[in-house]
Amino acid sequence: MTRKVKAVVIGAGVNGLVAAAALARAGGDVTVIERGSAPCGMMALGLFARGPHPAALETLGLKAAALGPAISTVALCPSGRHVMVEGAEARFADGSAHPGAERWRVLSHRLDRFATALAPLLTGAPPPMRLRAEGLPGLLRFALRLRLLGARDMRELLRIGLSNAADLAADALPEGPLPGLLAFDSVLGSRAGPMAPGTVVPLLRRRAPLRRMDGLAARLAAASEGKGGRLRIGAGVARILFEDDRARGVLLDDGERVEADLVISSLGAAPTLALAGAEQFDIEAQRRIRTIRAVGAAARVDLYLAAPPRIPGLDPAHHGARLVLAPSVQAVERAFDPVKYGRLPALPVMEGRIDGARLSLTVQCVPYGAPHDRIVAASLAALEMVAPGIGGEIRQAEALSPADIEAMTGAPGGHWHHGEIALDQFLTLRPANGMARYAMGPPGLFLCGAGAHPGGDVTGLPGLNGARAALEAMR
């Protein structure tokens, strides 16, 4: 009888849960160790999800329909002429035609085609630096999809791929909330402004329909357990154990040892190195991991009001939508400028959601350790543009800065992606040169969290790719 591969997955965020399901489905004996009091990780901070990706859902045995209906986005405008966006359709929130609707439709369809072409690069490990057989199918699929775009679109994708979201938006649409929305989606979770090179690719990763994130973590955890991944909640990993220069299990905070043939970490690369011990990595690998740029710029804010917020021009029937306050590309870039110098912008940009008298926000462009009262004050200053008088309605306000998020979840720098998504930290350079195919340091140790390719958001793709790489290595 063949012995079951024993695997330990560190962390029960979306990627740990998907990795566990993939390993268990392949016949592994899988234990997921989670330090927090519930499975979810940074999902607990999220408001809307475009995922998990269909391949991750399939691994979990879930159907997209079970995640709830897709919702629309309202791009808020200080003039009160808010724009309702449903995929490629855009109109004013009062139902009247938007003059940029046709240009928005053309651009949306083009971005969808580009996203389809790019998909093979995201759903598998990045191509190996040296051409090897295992990298060929993904590369060929990508080349084929690129070719199928036709000469015009292919040239355009290659042109904009390394360019920036601000130029893309400005070329397609007159300035305002619609290009502002594109700019916002290109940098949400990153420490970058939309004029930074490489901001078009994050936009192409965000083309799937949006849903509210309610209850998603519990559903993913139940599905992962249903596939055979055993969850141990409230148990932290203190060290990764090695024997004969290979990972052999983990030591928990309470001193218990959990033996394993594979250790798969959904933590960032630097916390994983810390758990393994620097001595397990050569000096160059240590340097590369320590220099990964990972300083978060997204904060969570919850405002409890006396009554549901009043936003002139927005019918309360649309309160269930995703609300984005990023009135223009310039507004997003201006919000980012002070963050470079560790300062809060006067008017940060944000997305939000209304649940009765509670307004929950993801506020973008918040420096790492910004004080709570200043995050709330800046958020309210921006909200006053579209909801005059909202400051007087607040009964209670809570904020989590990137520093708080790091303390809560262990995510490096409290970063949404466990490490900046940028041209120098993407594909074969993610999390760092020489580690892009999920294997990390000594044999038996793998990375499967947002810090690995293709990065964060609730897609489950790093988890799936990481588990597949680990299984491949065991074979």
Ligand X SMILES: Cc1cc2nc3c(=O)[nH]c(=O)nc-3n(C[C@H](O)[C@H](O)[C@H](O)COP(=O)(O)OP(=O)(O)OC[C@H]3O[C@@H](n4cnc5c(N)ncnc54)[C@H](O)[C@@H]3O)c2cc1C
Give me the residues that bind ligand X (CB under 6 A), please.
10-16, 33-36, 41-43, 45-49, 189, 213, 236-237, 266-267, 298, 300, 362, 405, 409-411, 416-417, 449-450, 456-458
Q: Smallest distance from the beta carbon of 402 to ligand X, in angstroms?
A: 7
State which residue, 214 or 384, has the beta carbon closest to ligand X: 214
Q: Smallest distance from the beta carbon of 111 to ligand X, in angstroms?
A: 18
State which residue, 157 or 237, has the beta carbon closest to ligand X: 237
State which residue, 15 or 328, has the beta carbon closest to ligand X: 15
Element (DSSP H or E) covering residue 242 = strand 237-243
- The torsion angle over the Cα atoms of residues 12, 15, 18 and 22, rounded to 10 degrees, is -110
Query: Helices then strands (H, E): number in the chain?
Result: 15, 18
Element (DSSP H or E) covering residue 372 = helix 372-383
State which residue, 12 or 349, has the beta carbon closest to ligand X: 12
* Helix ranges restricted to H, 162-302: 165-172, 177-187, 200-204, 216-226, 269-276, 283-290
With contact defined as beta carbons under 8 Å apart, do 345 and 351 qualify?
Answer: no
Render 330-341 in DSSP notation, one character per residue: HHHHHHHGGGGG
Q: Smallest distance from the beta carbon of 250 to ligand X, in angstroms?
A: 8
Q: Smallest distance from the beta carbon of 46 to ligand X, in angstroms?
A: 3
Q: For 279, what's the count of Cα atoms within 13 Å in the CB-facing half-sphere?
A: 6
> How far is it, in rounded angstroms, from Cα 38 to Cα 30?
18
State which residue, 98 or 364, has the beta carbon closest to ligand X: 364
Burial class (CB within 10 angstroms; exposed 0-12, middle 13-18, buried 19+) of 65: exposed
State which residue, 16 or 367, has the beta carbon closest to ligand X: 16
Q: Smallest distance from the beta carbon of 265 to ligand X, in angstroms?
A: 8
State which residue, 34 or 225, has the beta carbon closest to ligand X: 34
Q: Smallest distance from the beta carbon of 80 to ligand X, in angstroms?
A: 26
Q: Smallest distance from the beta carbon of 39 to ligand X, in angstroms?
A: 7
* Reduced DSSP (H G I as helix, E B as strand, rest coil) percent helix, strand, coil of the chain, to 5: 40, 20, 40
Strands 73-75 and 83-86: antiparallel
